[in-house]
Structure 1
Amino acid sequence: MKWHIAIAAALCLWLGLPFREYRTTQLLPIKTLQVLRQEEKIYLISEAAEGEGQTLVKCVADARKKAAGELLFETAQHLVVPDAALARELLRSELLRGSVQVYFSDVRLEPQGLSEYFAAHPSELRLKEFEKD
């Protein structure tokens, strides 16, 4: 039994652990994410990158391609959407955590300073609450 553990430890040391490797200088955490739908296109705006596409998946892929590093959507604290339908779509995509604070706006907001503003004016509405609809 002990030799199994010794072999597993030796393999981990020799091959490395089976985790995805990141260069920390290339990690781009997102604090505030704004998603808009205009004229059959979806637009994604954040402090770290912007993207557009016909679907949410294509929009996220475009933002990842344009970013200067690895976008971390899991770190988002605030989400700005025009309506509940888009919030439900984001919830189903599992791109964001359910505890993200949700705000509504039909217009594009400038991403710089938006996170600080929302931190000072927290929303009671969370993304996970849209699964009831």
Structure 2
Amino acid sequence: MKALKITYWTTTVIVALMMTYSAYAYLTQAAILQAFQHLGFPNYFRIELAVAKLIGAVLLLIPLTARIKEWVYAGFAFTFISAFIAHTSSGDPMANRIMPIIFLAILIVSYITFHKSNSVIGNQEPAKTKSPAL
């Protein structure tokens, strides 16, 4: 159980930190603006994606119902897959293509350990007490 928790929190924090840094870079670095133009995306999409990444990072870290977390994981999975497709389609170097796949793998580990830890917690039975003898 302890290893499961450590794995969950380590992978979740890695994804959240990367998404937070990515959002910051989207909003502050001129190179990212040029990269979005290179990929053929409009400027408003860069800002929209930065805000979504910040919101997703916060939602990933705070305790929420599994249903809401499912949407966060799905959103990040779509983001990583879309980034891979965009970089591949534009002929970017392998390093630009592989990073979204690496972070998708980390996200998958976080997702799996999230559900495993929830099922372990959910399957624990409350302590049984003996009823007094009649």
- Normalising by structure 1, report the TM-score: 0.23
- Normalising by structure 2, report the TM-score: 0.22
Task: Please state which structure has a larger fraction of its residues in strand.
Answer: 1
Task: Please state which structure has a larger fraction of its residues in helix.
Answer: 2
Higher relative contact order (CA 8 A, sep 6+): 2
